Amino acid sequence: MVYIPVDIEKAIIRECSRRRLSKRTAKTYLYCINRFLLFVKKDLGHISKRNVRLFLEYLSDKNLSGSTLNVYHMAIRFLFIDILDKRMWIDIKYSKITKKLPIVLTKDEVKKLFNSIDNPKHKLMVELMYSSGLRVSELLGLRVCNLEIEKGYGFVRKGKGNKDRLFILSQKIVDKIIDLIDFEKLSYENYLFNSNRNSKYNVRSLQNIIKCTCREADIKKRVSCHTLRHSFATHLIEKGYDVSQVQSLLGHKSPETTMIYVHISSPNMINVKSPFDDL
């Protein structure tokens, strides 16, 4: 007999919390599951695998991407297996995801980006994001206590997948970080980057800084905060560091995820010579 929680939304949030899934994942699962339940219009105990297939086919007909369809599929599996304890094997094949190479800035474009930022704090944020390969959420979640400045590294605490990892600090920005801490009189537990209201810096504000600066620097590529992380990884591969080293710095679970940066690195830097040159 299928277990039906009194409050399905509370049950989903509680189970996500128990499994240490992020709040964003919980919110996404809730949205996908609610949309599925609105589609089937059935009691939880009477939903079948056919209902799941029809729903995913309905989404597919709306030309949703493979990755989006897979998120819905995972959310529905989570509902059946983890919430309802219903051992209904959903053997629907996952949708194929189109693999796109990430946008990467050249080193000259990175310099142009830095040189176009006048505000010292904004510039330091962008420099740190690039020089350490940090995600924007990791950058804005940094606290003074996470930094081992004299040793040239820091720690991401509870990053993606709720994991901790080490990141490197560029010697070029160490003094700037120290000056910022001293100038703003930041305590050990303070966020490194605070807004004018002395609260955690807003992600959207930093994204707008990147967007406006790229326009001023006449960089035509579609650049986001994450582009700096892609550029960091690609430039390390071009410099000769191996995939395992870059994987560790990025916090990737699998080396296959990191391998994409090998594919977009400069051919000369990874010792690939065109056969046409030998003709």
Print the SS3 string covering the chain: CCCCCCCHHHHHHHHHHHCCCCHHHHHHHHHHHHHHHHHHCCCHHHCCHHHHHHHHHHHHHCCCCHHHHHHHHHHHHHHHHHHCCCCCCCCCCCCCCCCCCCCCCCHHHHHHHHHCCCCHHHHHHHHHHHHHCCCHHHHHCCEHHHEEHHHCEEEECCCHHHCCEEEECCHHHHHHHHHHHHHCCCCCCCECCECCCCCECCHHHHHHHHHHHHHHCCCCCCCCHHHHHHHHHHHHHHCCCCHHHHHHHHCCCCHHHHCHHHHHCCCCCCCCCCHHHHC
- Give the integer Cα–Cα distance in Å for 253 and 36: 30
- The confidence band for 29, taking pLDDT boundaries of 50, 70 and 90, is very high
pLDDT at 143: 93
CA dihedral of 67, 73, 75, 76, whole degrees rounded to 10 = 170
Domain residue spans of the chain: 8-83, 107-264
Q: Report, as an integer, the average pLDDT of 242-246.
A: 82
Range in 203-217, 234-248, 250-264 with the lowest mean pLDDT? 250-264
pLDDT at 179: 95
**What is the fold of 8-83?**
DNA polymerase; domain 1 (1.10.150)
pTM score of the predicted model:
0.70
pLDDT at 271: 64
pLDDT reading at 277 higher than 80:
no
Which tens digit of pLDDT belongs to each residue from 102-122? 888 999 999 999 999 999 999
Top pLDDT among 4 and 206 is at: 206
Please give the mean pLDDT across all residues of the chain. Answer: 84
Range in 70-74, 92-96, 108-112 with the lowest mean pLDDT? 92-96
Q: Which CATH class is domain 107-264?
A: mainly alpha
- Give the integer Cα–Cα distance in Å for 130 and 257: 19
pLDDT at 17: 86
Non-local (6+) Cβ contacts of 197 within 8 A are none
Catalytic residues: 135, 160, 226, 229, 252, 261
Q: Report, as an integer, the average pLDDT of 171-190.
A: 92
- CB-based contact 114:237 (threshold 8 Å): no
Question: 250: which 2 tokens?
Answer: 């990025």
Q: Which amino acid is at 118?
A: D
Top pLDDT among 119 and 244 is at: 119
Q: Report, as an integer, the average pLDDT of 217-225.
A: 90
8-83 matches 107-264 in fold: no
Range in 61-65, 148-152, 203-207 with the lowest mean pLDDT? 61-65
pLDDT at 1: 46
Range in 20-34, 94-108, 238-252 with the lowest mean pLDDT? 94-108
